[in-house]
Chain A
Amino acid sequence: NAGVTQTPKFQVLKTGQSMTLQCAQDMNHEYMSWYRQDPGMGLRLIHYSVGAGITDQGEVPNGYNVSRSTTEDFPLRLLSAAPSQTSVYFCASSYSRQQETQYFGPGTRLLVL
């Protein structure tokens, strides 16, 4: 198993550009989520999904969209990048929300100029 994979590993954007961060898992996990990690703030949940076709907002959803058309993939879209979205983004998955820890991808480091 590859576990949770994320691409790209690093990206530089200009303000106003859009892009999609990719996340995939091969563990047949139902629950997937996106976090951003900023210095001194821990991880904050952006969006999550409890299964294909089902998504919901987390703590900091503004400026981001998600979709879940398959169990394996959970892309995160930045609609119009802003410098405030400079961060490290982690995707995570678990078999189900209950009684399961999450498995994290390697992260995507995003710099918005």
Chain B
Amino acid sequence: ELKVEQNPLFLSMQEGKNYTIYCNYSTTSDRLYWYRQDPGKSLESLFVLLSNGAVKQEGRLMASLDTKARLSTLHITAAVHDLSATYFCAVDGRKTGNQFYFGTGTSLTVIP
């Protein structure tokens, strides 16, 4: 069974600071997805990473993928309050079929 671990689970940071969320997974996969979820809302796609070394950036968020280390990072630059949300990574478990495995999420609170 593919396992996806995120850390930290909870993150409280001040506006203007930088921080990184980590996503580790337990088996070979070269596709990784990041989603954002606001409280009581659905999931919104942020990034799709499709190969080793892939890097995507949107605004203050940058995601990268290292398939050899089985690690993806979501880096937050100069955080603002609007980034407060829960962030999930998900891995495409191709070897097990058409199944996506999600991490437990990182709840981010940006303090003004």
Contact = CB atoms under 8 A, between A and B. Distances in A.
Interface residues of A, number: 26
A71 to B, nearest CB: 16
- In this complex, the interface size class of chain B, counting residues with CB under 8 Å from chain A, is 20 to 34
Contacts of A103: 45
Contacts of A44: 102
A42 B43 CA distance: 11
Contacts of B88: 42-43
Contacts of A59: 1, 99, 101
Interface string A71-113: 0000000000000000000101000010111111111000000
Contact of A99 (B4, B31, B41): B31
A22 B4 CA distance: 29
Nearest to B50: A99
Given A99-B31, A101-B33, A101-B48, A42 B42 contact: no
Q: Select the residue from A33, A35, A90, A101 with max chain B CB neighbours within 10 A.
A: A101
Contacts of B43: 43, 90, 92, 104
Given A45-B99, A99-B50, A101-B33, A107 B42 contact: yes
B97 interface: yes
A64 to B, nearest CB: 15
Interface of A: 31, 33, 35, 40-45, 48, 50, 56, 58-59, 90, 92, 97, 99-107
Given A40-B104, A90-B42, 4 more contacts: A42-B88, A44-B102, A97-B98, A99-B31
